[in-house]
Structure 1
Amino acid sequence: MSGAGRATRPPEPVSSAPAVAEIAAAIRACGWFALDLEFVSEGRYVPDLGLVQVAWGDRDDPEVATIDPLAVDPGPVVALVGDPERETVVHAAQADVSLLAERYGVLPQAVVDTQIAGGFVGLGDQVGYGALVESVLGVRLDKGGQFTRWLDRPLSDDQIHYALNDVRYLPRAWERLRSELASRGRLDWAEEESARLVARYARRTSPVEAYRRLRGWSSLRPRAQGALRGLAAWREAEAMRLNVPPSRIVADRTVVELARRIPESAAQLEEARGLSRGTARRYGEQMVAALRDGALDPPERPRARPPLSDAAQGWATMLTALLSALCRSEEVAPRFVASRSEAEELARWWARGGDEPAPELPLLSGWRRELAGERLLSWLAGRAAILADARAPAGIALAPLPDGTAAGEARAGPAP
């Protein structure tokens, strides 16, 4: 099935406050809705919203509508994302949720992300909306409108068809996914992970932490780190004020170099490579003050962890590979289960002898421990062996060893 949703001319986007209020009331009455946003992010700190799409009512054949945010405030509808009594269905929500938090101050509550749900039923990590709809519903969507000019008016029929299809199939896809997750005993897993990630997407940027996103910050001396924190925070605040990318104010590489040198006057700034004289003249005093004040208040350095021993590095590599194989076998995206850093922390603990309490890692609690953590611990302790198995999805399998078998004794105990 293809070309879905193009049989008739689509309805015009809603452009009046009473119509927005009517949609919000209908959503409140039915208790759920699907949401998608079209926006333009190029050259902006916070994207400009170009269109809001919603679906509600019958999940198999929902009511659908678009709202024109250039003509009317969509606030009464988008605010429902923050209502814990109304389920919001989205796909790949990171950019949408971040925009709603920045533009409308909406913090998501009962939000489910079908991309995350797909990662728990074998659809892969970060499956696209079109691929998900085709896989789950057998509907092939036209994605030709994805990179159009959403701020231009009037919108074409093709743009509106494309936008409506982005929510038309979301409710039915989520119902199929929900049923599959429940049959596998994973519905709670997906809802928990969706809530965790969506909440993280909604966190607003803190200017004082912006320096940590710059390459090379951790190698600077304390005074230079303080200068970098001060200058990066000033740049972030200015970018927010002007709604432009921070790099348009001052390039990342230049920010780091200025923090390393800490020029003491606007005249010295003008000599800096990578900084235009116009920028130095416009912002010179502010930049010098940010560098100076930051250098006087360097951030506390976290206590450095000792490097992994050669043995622990090998264990971490094996743990990561085993985790990937287990997740592939179980049809769960590995990033939902554990990261490389967790594997390293687990290996670091085992290198210390494994006698002290295990580290508090998500991998070692709840469903993650049941799915993979316990089996990884069994391998570390020598209670399981890695087998080459052509029948396994990843070509390798972890098999328990009979009691008394000491295959893992060489791994146990402190690393030399």
Structure 2
Amino acid sequence: MSNFIPYGRQDINQADIDAVIDVLTSDYITQGPAIERFEELVANYCGSRYAVAVSSATAALHISCLALGLSEGDVIWTSPNTFVASANCGLYCGASVDFVDIDPTLYNLSVQQLENKLSAAAQLGKLPKVIIPVHFAGQSCQMEIISSLARQYDIKILEDASHAIGARYCDKAVGSCQYSDLTVFSFHPVKIITSGEGGMVLTNNTDLFEKLTRLRTHGITRNPRLMREISEGPWYYQQLELGYNYRMTDIQAALGASQMDRLETFVDRRRFLARRYNQLLSHLPIQLPLQHKDCESSWHLYVIRLRLPELSKTHRQIFEELRRANIGVNLHYIPVHTQPYYTDLGFQRGDFPEAEKYYSEAISIPLHYGLTLEQQDYIVDTLKAIVR
């Protein structure tokens, strides 16, 4: 098979194209009705009261931290097994960052490590203001336990669900915010649905919603109820705080809304392919991704871990042989605390050993809606040949 098989990619159909064309030939291509429609579709699907569309999930994380009041002197905790944006968002606000090591089987933030670290931090008077659990690969963290711990210590929760639209936890959609203050989604092209670039914040809190809508638009409001002085006319607006230009366009929102029509179809296909991988790879010297009984993953990623003591090749050799076979494997993620920027802040290798061990063994193999059974069989056969 000569064609390159990417680890993830978007699926765009004629309905998506038509939705974008409709916007391009309408009166609005930015800041129009398509954005509100997209927000309503996602909020209704997830069962949250509010949704705020923005230009990226990174922007969503940033304004979420700001809306929660994060500032200099505060601390956030997140997982080291994530993209750097999950941690950087705290630094953008002047706060500092720390990490909680991962569960060795689920690869999400470990609730046992979190409990231990919170207990120690409470004794030192150094509790975080915000915890950012990351729903790695589309599987929710154990949010009921995390929420209970956060309430005990009066800590805010921001769910980084960039991987997890379409996932469920305890029979509720991820994004319902039952166990958090805010939830963030990503609509990058490799995610479950796409708006090209884009993100969204969900919440059930009216005050947070109003603040988020201001922060994405320069801190500006046109709502007379929120103004500090009486409105001077229908043209009038006030800047209430320092915000940003983090707005999504109608073009992007139209694509995202159209993609929402197929969200369940996308997730069902990913779950089918994941089950098939589980069957076809079950006898190889690799650890397959495990699922917690309370979770239904949306399967953004399918990650295998190599049992290196049983193999005659190194992690890098196997990765590079798969790439040479035109299989677009990837590695999610390099532990954030080992990045040079973070080692300059004082972190070092050995700080979070489970995340580091995971990194030394993990490979993300292709999983996306358009992956054919022929391609999946080729991936499996190639992997078998390489590891045996």
Which TM-score applies when normalising by structure 2?
0.24
Q: Which has the larger radius of gyration?
A: 1
The structure with the greater share of residues assigned to helix is 1
Q: Which structure has more RCO (C-alpha within 8 Å, separation ≥ 6)?
A: 2
Which TM-score applies when normalising by structure 1?
0.23
The structure with the greater share of residues assigned to strand is 2
